[in-house]
Each structure stands twice: as C-alpha cells, then as structure tokens.
Copies of this chain bind each other. A is one copy, B any other.
C-alpha cells in the first residue's frame, strides 16, 4: 500500500459523502425542467475541482448545461492528461421500478444505488479523486486538464461547439475516460473501438386529426398502422437490417481480434438470463455474440407514441404516430450515409395513404483507437498492481460521439471504465460497486503518478 492508498483509505467516508452529494442533484439533460439541476451539478464539480487544487475551474459553453473546465498545477516538461467525464444523467423513468428513489443515493450490499452512480458521476468522480490523491501526496507526474460536460446523454452538442471554438481545450498527450464497465468482474478492459450512432425520429401522419374508429374504421388511414409497417420492414426475419448497402462498408474484425474475443471468459447462459435478462438472444446465429455486440451494425426501436396512451379505453384512429429508433454503426460505416439509406428505406416502406418524415437526432461515426501508445501499458501496469489482472482490449457496443473529437489533436484516447456489467446502466436501479469505485481511484492515482517516469523513459 502506497501513500496515495493510505490517503484514500483515511478519506473514504468524506469521498463517498461527496459522491452522494453530487448524485443527489437530478441533472437529467434530456429534461428541460432539470436545467437548473444541471447548472447546480456543474457548479458542484467546478467548486470541487477548485477545492482539490485544480484552479481556476470555470463553466463554459452554455448557461444551462455548461462544460466544467479546469487545469491542475503546472509541471514543466511533464505530459498533459485530459480527464473527460459527464455530469448529466439519463432520465430515471420508469420510476416505479426503482427500489429506492433515483436521486436519493442508497448503499445496499456493497453497492451505491442512484441514477448516475456508474454513468458517469461515480466514474469521473473516481478519476478526479485519483488526481486529488496524487496531488495531495505530491506524486502527480502530469499536467492535468478536465473537461466534464453536461450534455453527453443528449448528443454532446455543447461540448462539440465549445471545442470547435476553443481547440486549445483539447491540448493533451493523453485523454482518459472512465465511462463503462469492466469486461467482467476481475477483467478490466480498454475499449479500442466504439460504435457510431444514427439516432432518428420517424413520424407518420395520416389524418388532419384523430377520428372515431367506430364511425370511420375501415376507411380512415391509421398512423400507427403505417408506422408499424415501416418499423417491421426495417429488419428481415433473421434480424438483418434491410437498408440497401448498409453492410457493404462493414469491416470484419481480423482473425487475431476475433480469436482474442473467443478467449474472454463468457458464459452464454449467465449473460443471457442474468446480465441481459432475456429468455434468449437475437441476431444472426452464424456470428458470435461478441461480433454481434461489437462488430456489426444494429437497429433498435427505443419508444413509440401516438394515439391513445392513457389508462382505460378510447376508440380513436390516431392521426400521428412517432417512433424513436437508432442504428449503432461500426467501422467503416459513415453516419450521414447510413441516415440517407434509412430515410430512403422508410420512404420505400411508406404506404400511399401516409406521409412520413425521418429526422436525425444524433449522427456520429464509429471510432477506432491506436493501441500502440505507451500510456496503454502504463494503465495495464496500474490495473495489474491493484486488481491483479491487466487490461484486455475490447470493443464497445456503445457510442461516445465525443471520442473522435477528443482524439482529433493526436492524443492517445484511453477508455477504461471501472464499473461492472450489471450496474443497470440507463435502467432502473443503476448502481456502482463501492469496491470497484475505490479500486478505480487507486488504479488511476498510480496511472497519474507513474506516467511522468514512463513518458520520460520513453522520451530518453
């Protein structure tokens, strides 16, 4: 145990109390009524960075969902590490399925339950606390920068606009992101490719306004009928997406990468029933589960609205129906092209008695990371020392639109989360394991302390 570990142990209750303070703020970026909470969360993070010596911390880019920017003490000649995170969280609904309220953090069985516990408040706060420990013990070997945004869950436009205006905010040798789980308990991983996303809303309209199904059923066109026909027509019976040309640009992972995946610990039965919570999995059975998750495009319907959605009975023919859908993209697909293909396919599926529009809500390209940078081996050593196993290179099914931007200045981007696969990300009863949280602090404190030597060694 080193001095930083001792510091973290002695401050354990205070650290956890501060995280709970932050989790209590309902900073749901998708909800306009939470704008004030988003501001409060940003101010909280700014003040905390100030407190640990990363001053001046400031709020930039937006009044309602500002980006928290800060820099640590200057160490001339040392490498610069940019810590990225996001203080905004997913909406908590459906509220009835939470065992304890989403914004009243609660400890049960070694886990801390709250919306944002793992995505991403708990994880970026672990990174900041690792910085604090390294700084407090005089062991930080790097120049620290922070970009903690408040719009990741709604497309990240504020941060994207900000760094377009202020590219200097991205000046760094290394970018660190902790916003995801280990591959499995005891198996830390670095995500070296993330899927892109093409998120769109499909709106079908058939009537001036809703009409009575008794009086007009049989002749009045039903907006939901048009919509379900279109949505159903986007996949074939085997689950392949029916957008012409969609698979043409998919680069299949190399044999070595696929062989690596096949060595990962993987229990299909437990994955299906415990982690995913399904009776059986879907997708092309000729491809492995890892390929389906990491190397193939996917299409999901997130929600449908329109017509009568209340309790009880109403006999209405809906004039309008809406669906939110998204495709996850893999190299070398381009989000703009996929959107154009989706739009054309929807148009082809639209019956003559309906008008349908498709509006893009997020478009981001898939990203692949260069794993040859020495920071990867430094992080690997830190994990080995704390957790007993180094990092494995995985891909991620998720999308981080900011990733491409963060790496655009040539920095090595390390995406290595400290959560667990069953943290209920984006779902009711989101949580973080308290052990994982403190292990994460110890790992990253070593990483920040060790990088200087390593970089110098590399440079010499």
Does A304 touch B at the CB level, under 8 Å?
yes
Please encode chain A, from 392 to 409, with 1 for each CB lying within 8 Å of some chain B CB and 0 for all others. Answer: 000011110000000000
A218 within 8 A of B: yes
Establish whether residues B218 and A293, one from each chain, have CB atoms under 8 Å apart when the complex forms.
yes
Q: Which residues of B contact A352 (CB under 8 A)?
A: 280
A166 contacts B by Cβ under 8 Å: no
Instruction: Give the interface segment out of A209-217, A246-254, A442-450.
Output: A209-217
Please give the count of copies of this chain that the complex contains.
Answer: 2
> Which of B282, B304, B314, B326 touches A304 (beta carbons < 8 Å)?
B304
Interface positions, chain A 125-160, Cβ under 8 Å from B, are 153-155
Asked if B277 and A215 make an inter-chain contact with CB atoms under 8 angstroms apart, the answer reads no
Interface size on A, residues (CB 8 A): 96
Contacts of A313 in B (CB 8 A): 30, 153-155, 199, 324, 361-362
Residues from chain B with Cβ under 8 Å of A154 in the complex:
312-313
Residue from B289, B318, B427 in contact with A212 in the complex, judged by beta carbons closer than 8 Å? B427
Chain B residue at smallest Cβ distance from A206? B278
- A97-B209, A206-B278, A224-B303 known; A215+B397 contact, CB < 8 A: yes
Chain B residue at smallest Cβ distance from A284: B218
Question: Are A224 and B301 in contact (CB-based, < 8 A)?
Answer: yes
A29: chain B residues at CB < 8 Å are: 312
A262 located at the interface, meaning its Cβ lies under 8 Å from any Cβ of chain B in the complex:
no
A221 within 8 A of B: yes
Bound-complex Cα distance A227 to B155 (A) = 28
Cβ proximity bits A277-311 to B, threshold 8 Å, 1 near / 0 not:
11111110000010011001011111111111111
User: At the interface, yes or no: A222 with Cβ under 8 Å from chain B?
Assistant: yes
A433: Cβ under 8 A from any B Cβ: no
Nearest chain B CB to A15's CB is how many angstroms away? 27
A225 interface residue (CB < 8 Å to B):
yes
Residues B304 and A224 in contact, CB atoms below 8 Å apart: yes
A315 touches B311 (CB 8 A): no
Q: How far is the CA of A414 from the CA of B210 in the complex (A)?
A: 28
Q: Does A77 contact B (CB under 8 A)?
A: no
Q: Is B212's CB under 8 angstroms from A281's CB?
A: no
Bound Cα distance A32, B155 (Å): 38
Measured in the bound complex, the distance between the Cα atoms of B217 and A296 in whole Å is 10
Contact A30 B314 (CB under 8 A): yes
Residue of B nearest to A425 (CB): B212
A228 lies within 8 A of chain B by Cβ: yes
Contacts of A227 in B (CB 8 A): 228
A319 to B91 Cα, complex, angstroms? 16
| Of B155, B213, B279, B399, the contact of A214 (CB 8 Å cutoff) | B399
| A7 CB within 8 Å of chain B | no
Whether B225 contacts A278 by the Cβ 8 Å rule is: no
Is residue A55 within 8 Å, beta carbon to beta carbon, of the partner chain?
no
Select one of B97, B292, B308, B428 contacting A303, CB under 8 A. Answer: B308
B221 close to A282 (CB less than 8 A): yes
Q: Confirm or deny: A46 has a beta carbon within 8 angstroms of a beta carbon on chain B.
A: no
The CB with the most chain B CB atoms within 10 A, among A219, A228, A306, is that of A219
CB-CB < 8 A to A399: which residues of B? 214, 315
- Check: A410 CB closer than 8 A to any chain B CB: no
Asked whether A93 is an interface residue with its Cβ less than 8 Å from the other chain, the reply is yes
Cα-based distance from A218 to B296 in the complex (angstroms): 8
Residue of A90, A97, A278 with highest tally of chain B CB at under 10 A = A278
The 5 closest A-B pairs by CB, nearest first: A214-B398, A208-B277, A30-B312, A303-B307, A217-B298
A-B contact pairs, 23 of them (CB 8 A): A30-B310, A153-B313, A206-B278, A206-B279, A209-B424, A213-B298, A214-B398, A216-B276, A217-B397, A218-B397, A219-B283, A224-B304, A227-B228, A231-B232, A277-B319, A303-B308, A303-B318, A304-B306, A304-B309, A305-B305, A313-B324, A313-B362, A314-B324
